[in-house]
Amino acid sequence: MSDSLLNFALPPLPSDLPLPPLPEIKDQELRQQVFTHSSYYAVPRRATSLDVEGGDKLLDNEKLEHVGDGLLGAVVTVLLHDLFPNLKHGPATMLKAHLVRDATLAQLSRRYEFPSFLRAGKAATYNLISGEKTVANLFEAYIAGLYYSYLQPRTLSSTVPRTRIPTPPRTPQKTGPATTESESITSKSSPSTPPPTTHTHITHGQAMDQLEEWLIPLFTPLAHWVLQEMRKEQARLDLLVASKNDDSHLDDDAIGAMARLNEHFTVKQGGKPEYCAKRAAGDMWYVMVIAIMKDGTQRTAEATRNTKKLASTVAAWKICQELGI
């Protein structure tokens, strides 16, 4: 049905949406891969090949986009549970879908000016940056590129001077020139000695923490805005359904009608009515009752209510009225 929240399309993102500073991918080779479309190299593809052939490595951003999609999905899923712990599973899934769909990510990508860095085949560039898919892929590829840049080993140089504890002077030796204590300490702590260098690795969890320092401030206000838009649309749909239901006064009269109709058909018509139910707008249920008589004639009635049972009862009551039950 057209009047369903499942078919809701978000308006453009608000112009005043906070945009956190973009973290830098320091590895230039990795950054270049993030913005490289497969058309740039135009490598022939083989449908039967599972791996890159000839010892080459992946140079475009397709695999990074794939990884970034998974990373973003995990971050957004946990974020929504933290922000809205009482939101039902269905609406939470719908909210996440709005946040990570191409239309949303493409707008974020353009605000960070990602399309201006795209490397693609000359003949394809214009169409690629004009659409949503490739521009959204740049955003997901950047997430993966940033994640892997955090995982790269980092070189740390110790700049903290060591504290030396003076030792008692040695007994002068008979051979060789005498060396004073100050000369000995000076020679041992010569500034020409380079400071020790160490390499440090961070875990995948730590890389995820650093990634969230950018994504959480970006998607938190966006999630609140999207949920607000969903609530507004739901309220509009509820009003629409209410305006169509001009038979709400039948609810009290219909109590017990479904049992009466079922009993009548079981005893006198040799069968049972068929109840066809489906979701209507929002949390509403639409039910059509089809009752086939012994002589082959068919009676139908329909109703829309906030529960399937109530809609079935009202629809059954309408057929009962026709049959004089």
- The whole-number average pLDDT for the span 70-74 is 98
Q: Secondary structure of 295-321 in the HEC alphabet? A: CCCEEEEEEEECCHHHHHHHHHHHHHH
In CATH, what is the architecture of 248-323?
2-Layer Sandwich (3.30)
d(CA 62, CA 52): 13
Domain limits, the chain: 5-43+57-154+200-238, 248-323
- The whole-number average pLDDT for the span 194-211 is 79
So what's the pLDDT on residue 161? 44
So what's the pLDDT on residue 159? 42
Q: pLDDT by residue (tens digit) across 96-125?
A: 999 999 999 999 999 999 999 999 999 999
Q: pLDDT by residue (tens digit) across 30-42?
A: 999 999 999 998 7
pTM across the whole model: 0.66
Q: pLDDT by residue (tens digit) across 205-264?
A: 999 999 999 999 999 999 999 999 999 998 887 777 666 666 777 888 899 999 999 999
**Catalytic residues, which ones?**
69, 140
Q: 5-43+57-154+200-238 domain in CATH 3.40.50.300?
A: no
Q: pLDDT by residue (tens digit) across 267-282?
A: 888 788 999 999 876 6
So what's the pLDDT on residue 47? 65
